[in-house]
């Protein structure tokens, strides 16, 4: 009944309880067990990935959930149900591989089921493994820009984001956008939502993360990316730069405030994008504008000002402009020392940078 009503989470719950009943019979009927798992597999193919309706570990303490599922009463999903399902489908996958199955559809379905089960277990590493395997299987017969790969790219991007693998997450969000832009305009709400996520990634990631150099070296990040032939693409960074440049222009020229990003945040994103592209002159331009804006709007946010001075100092240091670097490191140090509570580790780092400029190691 729940399956027909499209209440997939509740349907899973009762199918697993049904399995419990059949497993109690000695000997249990393997044909019936296989039939039930086939139905469970179909549910995992239809369920929304990264479902929010995880009854499995909660005891329905949440009042809104309790009301929504009040007919379930004390019947709750247990972790062992997920473990059992994972074990069953992993054995199924092993058998398919051992039999050298050429049925790509069957393999893809099994990888999807396993990936979704692992997501519900919050086993992100294993989920990522299965979705990358799914992508590998699909790419045997499709190009990387095929629109049917869109959802897989999005899932992989979200998993990487959950794991704070920001550079890899950006690769797959941009691939997701490549697929969506085949059928949608650039101003489509979905594209805007993806850019919101991308913008937040650039606000989180370290602007001096050395792995960003892949954009110019055209190197892949790891063997998994090699498998799927998914390479970072400089055009994605340039496309993102254009998006946030236009967003900044609208805010400044029309005095229009974005509900998603402040002007201060857009300056930061633009600076980080140009650092990623190794265009240090343009990066400096935006960080100087950010610094001016910070002094103009709130000069007493000492820590935020200190961070901007430190980034500018780091850029100057990389450009071998040691005189400017020294000046900005000293400004950052003064501001960090005025911040409460003090971050002594950060203060010591800046002191070491200043020391290395004043007394360089021969």
For residues 194 and 266, give the distance between their C-alpha atoms in angstroms, rounded to a whole number.
15
Q: CA 23 from chain center: how many Å?
A: 39
Residue 307: per-residue pLDDT:
95
Residue 93: per-residue pLDDT:
93
Residue 126: per-residue pLDDT:
95
The residue extents of the domains of the chain are 1-55+74-141
Residue 240: per-residue pLDDT:
96
Please, which pLDDT band fits residue 212 given cuts at 50, 70 and 90? very low
Residue 92 reports pLDDT greater than 70: yes
Query: Of how many residues is the chain composed?
Result: 362
Contact partners, residue 154, CB within 8 Å, separation at least 6: 172, 173, 176
> For the residues 152-165, what does the mean pLDDT come to?
94
Give 41-98 as a DSSP string: HHHHHHSPSS-S---SS--S-SHHHHHHTGGGTT----HHHHHHHHHHHHHHHHHHHH
Cα angle 247-249-255, degrees, rounded to a multiple of 5: 95
Cis peptide upstream of residue 189 (ω within 30 degrees of 0): no
CATH topology of domain 1-55+74-141: 1.25.40
Residue 257: per-residue pLDDT:
67
Of 82, 4, 85, 96, residue with least CA distance to 46: 4
Lowest mean pLDDT among 73-87, 111-125, 310-324: 73-87
Q: Name the pTM for this structure.
A: 0.79
Residue 159 reports pLDDT greater than 90: yes
Contact partners, residue 138, CB within 8 Å, separation at least 6: 104, 108, 146, 148, 149, 152
Give 324 or 9, the one with higher predicted confidence. Answer: 324
Residue 131: per-residue pLDDT:
95
Lowest mean pLDDT among 62-76, 207-221, 238-252, 279-293: 62-76
Lowest mean pLDDT among 75-79, 90-94, 254-258, 341-345: 75-79
Of 70, 257, 94, 239, residue with least CA distance to 170: 239
Mean of the per-residue pLDDT values for the chain? 82
Read off the pLDDT of residues 228-285 as tens digits, 9 standing for 90 and up.
445 567 889 999 999 999 999 988 887 766 678 999 999 999 999 999 899 999 999 9
Max mean pLDDT among 21-25, 210-214, 230-234, 352-356 falls in 352-356
- Distances in Å between the Cα of 251 and the Cα atoms of 266, 267, 304 are 10, 12, 21
Read off the pLDDT of residues 315-357 as tens digits, 9 standing for 90 and up.
999 999 999 999 999 999 999 999 999 999 999 999 999 999 9
Read off the pLDDT of residues 167-176 as tens digits, 9 standing for 90 and up.
999 999 999 9
Locate 15 and state its tokens: 């199918």
Coil, strand, or helix at residue 17? helix
């Amino acid at each position: 009944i729940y399956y027909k009503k499209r209440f997939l989470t509740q349907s899973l719950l009762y199918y697993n309880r049904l399995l419990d009943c059949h497993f109690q019979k000695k000997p249990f009927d393997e044909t019936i067990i296989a039939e039930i798992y086939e139905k469970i597999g179909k549910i995992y193919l239809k369920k929304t990935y990264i479902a929010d309706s995880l009854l499995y570990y909660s005891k329905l303490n949440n009042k809104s959930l309790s009301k929504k599922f009040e007919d379930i009463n004390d019947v709750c999903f247990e972790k062992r149900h997920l473990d059992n399902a994972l074990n069953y489908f992993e054995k199924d996958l092993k058998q398919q591989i051992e039999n050298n199955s050429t049925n790509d559809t069957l393999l893809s379905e099994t990888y999807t089921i396993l990936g979704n089960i692992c997501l519900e277990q919050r086993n992100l590493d294993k989920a990522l493994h299965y979705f990358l395997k799914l992508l590998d299987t699909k790419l045997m017969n499709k190009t990387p820009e095929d629109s049917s790969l869109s959802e897989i790219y999005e899932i992989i991007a979200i998993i990487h984001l959950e794991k704070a693998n920001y550079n890899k997450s950006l690769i797959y969000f941009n691939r997701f956008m490549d697929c969506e832009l085949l059928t949608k305009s650039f101003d489509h709400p979905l594209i805007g939502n993806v850019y919101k996520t991308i913008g937040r990634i650039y606000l989180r990631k370290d602007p001096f993360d050395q792995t960003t150099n892949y954009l110019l070296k055209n190197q892949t990040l790891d063997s998994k990316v090699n498998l799927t032939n998914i390479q970072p693409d400089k055009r994605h960074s340039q496309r993102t730069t254009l998006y946030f440049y236009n967003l900044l222009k609208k805010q400044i020229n029309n005095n229009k405030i974005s509900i998603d990003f402040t002007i201060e945040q857009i300056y930061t994103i633009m600076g980080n994008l140009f650092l990623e592209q190794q265009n240090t002159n343009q990066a400096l331009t935006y960080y100087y504008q950010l610094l001016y804006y910070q002094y103009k709007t709130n000069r007493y946010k000492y820590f935020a000002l200190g961070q901007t001075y430190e980034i500018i100092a780091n850029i100057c240091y990389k450009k071998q402009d040691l005189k400017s670097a020294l000046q900005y490191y000293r400004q950052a140090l003064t501001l960090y020392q005025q911040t409460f509570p003090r971050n002594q580790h950060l203060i010591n780092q800046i002191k070491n940078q200043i020391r290395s400029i004043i007394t360089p190691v021969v």
